[in-house]
Amino acid sequence: MSGNGKWLIITEKPSVAGDIAKAIGGFEKKSDYYDSDKYLMTWAVGHLVELLSPEDLDPKYKRWLLQDLPILPPRFEYKPKDGQKERLDTIKSLANRNNVVGLINACDAGREGELIFRELYDFSGAKKPIRRLWLQSMTHDAIRKEFASLREGKEFDNLGDAARCRAESDWLIGMNATRAVTRRLKPKAQKGVSWSVGRVQTPTLALVVKREAEILRHRPEPYWTIEGRFSTDSHEYSGQWFDPNFKKVESSEDDETAIREKDDRIFSRAQLDKIIAELMAKKDAASASETRKESREIAPQLFDLTTLQREANRRFGMPASRTLQAAQRLYEKHKVLTYPRTDSKNLPEDYVESVKAILNKFGDSKLDFAGVSRRILSRGLLNKERVFNNKGISDHFAIIPTGEVPSSLEGDDQRIFDLVSKRFLAAFMPPAVWAKVERITRISDYHFRTRVSDLQEQGWREVYGKDSEDEPSLPKLHPTDPNASVKVKTENVEPQENATKPLPRLT
């Protein structure tokens, strides 16, 4: 950027404008904007304009009549949202100042942020060059670095077009389908009541309704399993009866049949009694053999927003919205995480040195995983090809720590910071090594199965410490011959009654 004029920076919210002012320096705070030798800066508060409603287009649309559908505007136009005219006037006035030579889009680095800026640009009527500030992190160093390499606004035309298409398709489906369904379903007496239909909300609701109907239709069906207790000269163990000739029913994972049919379930009381009687008659003829295979478990990929939300729900029962709110605070307020609204699980190929810098900061800190960080640096980064991959990145790279060490976090913020930081460290560590043991105990023609995963080398699991999900180990069946068939003693054979359960509700 050159010339004697100033560039107008527009951010998506006031707090971001404050962060940029502190990072760059030289700004004077006015009542509703910042001023410096090179820049003016002001802010939006989310979307300041909205698409015209049908009744804005034509007063006849105040009445919801089927014969007026579909409503297809020749072009989509905007109006100020309630209470936002003063903010819009400020932005328009600044954008059209004679000494303003161009605008810098510093709204959130994503589809919605792109749309917010372009709405304001169009509404202002300005015809000036655009530059894009694309922030992955809100640390002052990151802000200064990105300001030194602003990108041409036209590089993001496709992103802006995608955002407009989404907004306009939401309008077309929402406005037309809501009116159509409401007129079809609403009794005339229910004035003022509408049936909301949306491009995303209605298919999502349909999935929830379909699952709920399946749950309500479900009738518990009794079944039995059989647990056997066995012993060798050195240890006792348990096994679950199963049918080796069982054939899985071809169905989807969400089909109730797939959940009902298992190779260790008995649905007939007569069959159960027959099996138990024969087992008791031949229990002294039990033998067992086993296989032990080494399995290498690589670390899970870095988080994108969806996988972070799933993991937070699994570990802490946090709903998706709460996880996003915490991640957003950690990005904007605490500046300890990168941009959270990403669908990527990789890092740029030129980000290796940045990762080392983050690990150095962690290693010098008093965080619980400081020692792990130092060991990773000492050993060198592993799994580079898997983690650093430009092809796996869309608008943003994966969610990772910025390297800033938080002074005080609590509650959800602490939980999410720990989740992201540990996943980040694990990504550069060696695989965990397991001994996968499957022991088959036979009593005549009946089979019992014992499966255990025995952790041999912690690898990346070191960063998580002792896991409550770790299974107990199973001593070897034969001390020297892994393929030996060994006679075992049947201590007990006991049926257990259960009942089928419906599919779980969607979360």
Torsion 138-139-144-145 (CA) sign: negative
**Any idea of the CA torsion for 450, 453, 454, 460, to the nearest 10 degrees?**
-170
User: CB of 395 within 8 A of CB of 110?
Assistant: yes
- 356 φ, ψ (degrees, to nearest 5): -60, -40
Give the Cβ contact number of residue 380 at 10 Å.
9
What span, in angstroms and rounded, lies between the C-alpha atoms of 420 and 463?
12
SS3 242: strand
What order of strands is seen across the sheet that includes strand 432-443? 486-487, 286-297, 432-443, 446-457, 236-242, 222-231, 489-499
CA distances from 49 to 11, 73, 115, 156 (A): 15, 17, 11, 21
Residue of 118, 133, 41 lying closest to 78 (CA atoms)? 118
What secondary structure letter does DSSP report for 298?
Answer: P
339 labelled catalytic: yes
Q: Where are the alpha helices (DSSP H) in 284-383?
A: 305-316, 320-332, 352-363, 370-379
SS3 454: strand
Residue of 500, 450, 436 lying closest to 241 (CA atoms)? 450
E strands along 209-274, which residues? 222-231, 236-242
What span, in angstroms and rounded, lies between the C-alpha atoms of 489 and 372?
46
Out of 33, 34, 339, 446, the active site residue is 339
What span, in angstroms and rounded, lies between the C-alpha atoms of 179 and 182?
5
> For 209-239, b where at least 16 C-beta lie within 10 A, e where not — what string?
eebeeeeeeeeeeebbbbebebebeeeebeb
Sequence-ordered list of residues with C-beta below 8 angstroms from that of 384, at least 6 positions apart, any chain? 352
Tokens of 265: 């379930």
Q: Which residue has the tokens 């020297």?
A: 480
What span, in angstroms and rounded, lies between the C-alpha atoms of 507 and 505?
6
User: CB of 109 within 8 A of CB of 135?
Assistant: yes
Strands 49-51 and 222-231 turn out to be: unpaired
Catalytic annotation, residues: 339
